[in-house]
Amino acid sequence: MKTNYIFVTGGVVSSLGKGIISASIGKLLQARGYKVTIQKFDPYINIDPGTLNPYEHGECYVTEDGFETDLDLGHYERFTGIRTTRNNSITTGRIYKTVIDRERHGDYLGKTIQVVPHITDEIKRRMLGEGSFDFVITEVGGTIGDIESAPFMEAIRQLRWELGPQAVCVHLTYVPYLKAADELKTKPTQHSVKELQGMGIQPDILVLRTERHLDDALRMKVASFCNVDLECVVQSEDMPSIYEVPVSMQKQGLDAAIMRKIGIPVGETPAMKPWHDFLDKQRNAKREVHIGLVGKYDLQDAYKSIRESLNLACIYNDVKARLHFVNSEEITYQNVSDKLDGMAGVVICPGFGQRGIEGKIIAAEYLRTNDIPTFGICLGMQMMVIEFARNVLGYEDANSREMDAQTPHNVIDIMEEQKSITQLGGTMRLGAYECELREGSKAYEAYGHEAMVRERHRHRYEFNNSYKEEYEAKGMKCVGINPAANLVEIVEMPEKRWYIGTQFHPEYSSTVLHPHPLFLNFIKVCVE
């Protein structure tokens, strides 16, 4: 089969859930046995989201091959289980950088370099991608009409012209409900499609985001005003969970509509049994478990993968996650017990910089001394280590070199390989590295007696091995080690119910059908 291309664009407003729709399309085609990849094109100038503050676009997601990407790649992986790479996340900045580097290299033989055709050609080259896939799904960030996404739209227009029926355009819009008029309004959708048509792109399929059910008459109206077949107008209603979306799309025949457009025989609808089993579990989970997230970003998307990993682990433990963000900047010795009151377990979140770290350390002390299940991730693990040094090893001034370059007790130190690095962006220890587990440890048990695991990283600082013996002697064990660099990857306190910190980010590799063992085990103990 030749490779087919599906372009997913969005109109009217942002945050419609293009990422979820793209991931759902990927899931549905994958369920039909096709080889699929999903990629995200973002119109901003940053080379990658690695240097972005999470307040801008939410969490930075890290691929196995060590690329810092948009959080939508997390949805792609969680839905499909496909491991993404640096090729799945492209920004305007990367496109321009490639073209400009080539120009400096003299590759254009004296030509004037222009947005059309040089930038658009580079976008097209990336959109076509490498490797052999049956379907390449390309999600374009931003909203139709944005100046900055215009070159992407032009590239899609050209590709559709070149590829014919092998390229399909799915456009996501919003149908608002006006309470005063008690009416659902299609005009924004019509305008959005007109805008797209003005750029030479006729959408094949419209996905209408809505908070209310849309009846056939309304869908017919949209179809006729927008030149789209009725069966190609589907709705994306608010769902109790994003994981219901693929099933809802399948029921409305979104995958079948795409296949018909391309000219592939549709065949039987796949049963997706494991997915339905998961949804049944989700629907049946009634008992709630309260989990605290101690972090500094009071924005849901900043800890997207952690939240989803917790949600998934709860479902597999037959409970419903109630996640509570606890701002570490507000935590004091006086209020910590109130702030964490009622939590069955707490995650101490990753992060960078000074802000909010003392609150994390206070939380770690409270959780350790009260034996509340605690999961420290990256900076969270480092704060557990610092707290232990201050309160158990007796080094009151213990710190991380990141926070205090002069600290006499640098229990968290800068990695040797990081010392000479001055450039930001893509320079941390990134991506998957091996971790050897100590037999008999809690982590080893959680991983199901796996001797060696591979996990993704994103950090510059590390556990200082010169303190290792003291930690081990006083009850904090270094039970996960990267064999190549002798780097501490996991610390745990065996006599506690669950007090584990990981230098790596297990949240990046938890998927719907394969939830991460550490999260599963953490929730299991929280529920007990």
CB 202 within 8 A of CB 227: yes
Tokens 């013996």 belong to residue: 469
Q: How far is the CB of 418 from ligand GLN (least distance, A)?
A: 8
Q: How far is the CB of 381 from ligand GLN (least distance, A)?
A: 8
What is the rounded distance in angstroms from the CA atom of residue 250 to the CA atom of residue 253? Answer: 5
Interface size with ligand GLN, residues (CB under 6 A)? 10
Reported residue count of the chain is: 528
- Cβ-based nearer residue to ligand GLN, 364 or 379: 379
- Cβ-based nearer residue to ligand GLN, 442 or 458: 458
What is the rounded distance in angstroms from the CA atom of residue 220 to the CA atom of residue 456? Answer: 47
Of residues 480-519, those binding ligand GLN (CB under 6 A): none
Q: What is the DSSP letter of 29?
A: H
Of residues 308-327, those binding ligand GLN (CB under 6 A): none
Q: CA distances (Å), 182 to each of 176, 178, 216, 223, 239, in order?
A: 11, 6, 17, 22, 21
Active site residue 495: no
- Cβ-based nearer residue to ligand GLN, 18 or 429: 429
- Identify the residue among 70, 402, 413, 436 touching ligand GLN (CB under 6 A): 402
What is the rounded distance in angstroms from the CA atom of residue 36 to the CA atom of residue 27? Answer: 9
CB 492 within 8 A of CB 521: no
Q: Which stretch, 39-47, 190-198, 348-356, 511-519, contacts ligand GLN (CB under 6 A)?
A: 348-356
- Identify the residue among 66, 141, 292, 350 touching ligand GLN (CB under 6 A): 350
Which helix (H) or strand (E) element contains residue 326? strand 320-327
Of residues 415-474, those binding ligand GLN (CB under 6 A): 458-461
Active site residue 378: yes
Q: How many CA atoms lie within 13 A of 164 on its CB side?
A: 2
Peptide bond into 117 cis (omega under 30): yes
- Cβ-based nearer residue to ligand GLN, 163 or 299: 299
Q: How far is the CB of 515 from ligand GLN (least distance, A)?
A: 21
- Cβ-based nearer residue to ligand GLN, 40 or 458: 458
Using only the alpha carbons of the chain, give its radius of gyration: 25
- Identify the residue among 65, 133, 352, 494 touching ligand GLN (CB under 6 A): 352
- Cβ-based nearer residue to ligand GLN, 76 or 303: 303
378 part of the interface to ligand GLN, by CB under 6 A: yes
> Which of 378, 435, 478, 526 is the catalytic position?
378
Q: How far is the CB of 414 from ligand GLN (least distance, A)?
A: 8
Q: Which stretch, 87-95, 286-294, 298-306, 345-353, contacts ligand GLN (CB under 6 A)?
A: 345-353
H-assigned helices in 340-482: 357-369, 379-391, 442-446, 468-474
> Which of 75, 171, 505, 516 is the catalytic position?
505
Bridge partners, residue 459, by sequence: 429
Q: What is the DSSP track for 123-169?
A: HHHHHH-SS--SEEEEEE-S-TT-GGGHHHHHHHHHHHHHHGGGEEE
Active site residue 507: yes
- Cβ-based nearer residue to ligand GLN, 36 or 378: 378
Q: How far is the CB of 464 from ligand GLN (least distance, A)?
A: 12
Residues known to be catalytic: 378, 505, 507
- Applying CB under 6 A, which residues contact ligand GLN? 350-352, 378-379, 402, 458-461
